[in-house]
Amino acid sequence: MTVNQLAQLEDPTSAPFPLEPAFRQRILVVDDDSMIRRLNTEALLYSGYDVDAADDGDVAWELIQQKNYDLLLTDHQMPKMTGLGLLRKIHAARLSLPVILATGAVPQEELEAHPWLQVEAILLKPYTFDDLLATVRNVLHANINEDPQIRPPDWTGQPLPNRLRF
């Protein structure tokens, strides 16, 4: 059922699922490239997630200490603090946070040398919005409880707005 079909229902309480999810998963997007950060943030917001953004690892670390996140989507090669530097801080603080590393160059040697730097998925740049959203959904789905009230938004079949298309 599409959003338009739901809007046409005479009794919205008879809809098979709520229009607004009771629980919106919170994602932190970290990338020093302002265009990539903006596009990722907008695509995730449009897909029903609650999203914050940071332009480097230092800012991200401050946000992580202030808020609870369900997922971290981070670049690796950034000034001030790399993505893996941020993961080290998260690990040292004993925080549990699923991570998607979205990067142009995978730091394979560093990941192999430090297996405790837990990364649930790697998105190699350039990637598509479909790749981004599918990876986010898969990682979040793998990390949520079996509670049927808590699930990622169903964005499949919904086209992205024109401003998010390349």
Every domain of the chain and the residues it spans: 23-141
Percent of the chain with pLDDT over 90: 58
Q: Over the stretch 46-87, which tens digit does the pLDDT of each residue have? A: 999 999 999 999 999 999 999 999 999 999 999 899 999 999
Return d(Cα 121, Cα 17) in angstroms, integer: 29
Element (H, E) at 28: strand 26-30
Greatest mean pLDDT among 11-15, 115-119, 138-142 lies in 138-142
Please report which residue ranges of the chain form alpha helices under DSSP H.
3-7, 34-46, 57-66, 83-92, 108-113, 129-143
Q: Over the stretch 124-134, which tens digit does the pLDDT of each residue have? A: 999 999 999 99
Q: Over the stretch 13-42, which tens digit does the pLDDT of each residue have? A: 444 433 444 478 999 999 999 999 999 999
For position 37, what pLDDT does the model report? Answer: 97
Kindly indicate whether the domain formed by 23-141 is annotated with CATH number 3.40.50.2300: yes
